C-alpha cells in the first residue's frame, strides 16, 4: 500500500463522505492473512504521514520509508516505484512455494 489512509484528509474535505463510508474491516483483513507492506513518504503533501503510519499499525504492516517522495506520483518524479517491487518479490516467491 502506498500512501494509505483511512482517516479524513484535512486538505481534501470533499472526500470525507467516501472515507466515512469505506472504512477497512481490519479484523477481516487480519483473518485473511495476506502479506501487507506500506510505503510511506516522509513529506506527502496529500496524506499526512501520521495517517499512513496509523493505517500501517492497524494492518500490522512493516513500513518502507521513501525519503522526499511526496505523494509518490509522477508529478513527484516517480514513474516507477522500485520499493514496491522489492516488497512484492518475497511475497510472490512465497506464493510460488505454497
Instruction: Give the residue numbers spanning the domain of 51.
Output: 13-97
Contacts of 80 (CB under 8 A, 6+ apart): none
Question: What is d(CA 78, CA 70) in angstroms, rounded to the nearest whole number?
Answer: 10
CATH code of residue 17: 3.40.50.1820
Is residue 7, in this structure, part of any structural domain at all? no
- Supply the pTM of this predicted model: 0.82
Residues in the chain: 98
User: Does the residue 4 lie in any domain?
Assistant: no
**Quick check: is 5 in a domain?**
no
d(CA 14, CA 30): 30
Domain assignment present for 1? no
Nearest to 64 by CA among 39, 89, 88, 85: 39
Q: Would you say residue 85 lies in a domain?
A: yes
Query: What pLDDT score does 49 carry?
Result: 94
Domain count, the chain: 1
| Residue-by-residue pLDDT tens, the chain, 98 positions | 889 999 999 999 999 999 999 999 999 988 988 888 899 999 999 999 999 999 999 999 999 999 999 999 999 999 998 888 888 888 788 765 55
Domain assignment present for 3: no
**Distance from C-alpha of 84 to C-alpha of 78, rounded to nearest angstrom:** 12
Using CA atoms, how far apart are residues 7 and 16, in angstroms rounded to an integer? 8
At residue 83's C-alpha, the angle toward residues 54 and 97, to 5°, is 95
Q: How many CB atoms lie within 10 A of CB 7?
A: 15
Amino acid at each position: 500500500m502506498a500512501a494509505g489512509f483511512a482517516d479524513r484528509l484535512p486538505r481534501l474535505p470533499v472526500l470525507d463522505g467516501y472515507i466515512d463510508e469505506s472504512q477497512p474491516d481490519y479484523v477481516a483483513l487480519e483473518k485473511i492473512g495476506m502479506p501487507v507492506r506500506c510505503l510511506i513518504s516522509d513529506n506527502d503533501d496529500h496524506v499526512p504521514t501520521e495517517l499512513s503510519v496509523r493505517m500501517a499499525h492497524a494492518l500490522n504492516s512493516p513500513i518502507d520509508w521513501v525519503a522526499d517522495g511526496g505523494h509518490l506520483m509522477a508529478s513527484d518524479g516517480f514513474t516507477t516505484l522500485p520499493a514496491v517491487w522489492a516488497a512484492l518479490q518475497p511475497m510472490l516467491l512465497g506464493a510460488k512455494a505454497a
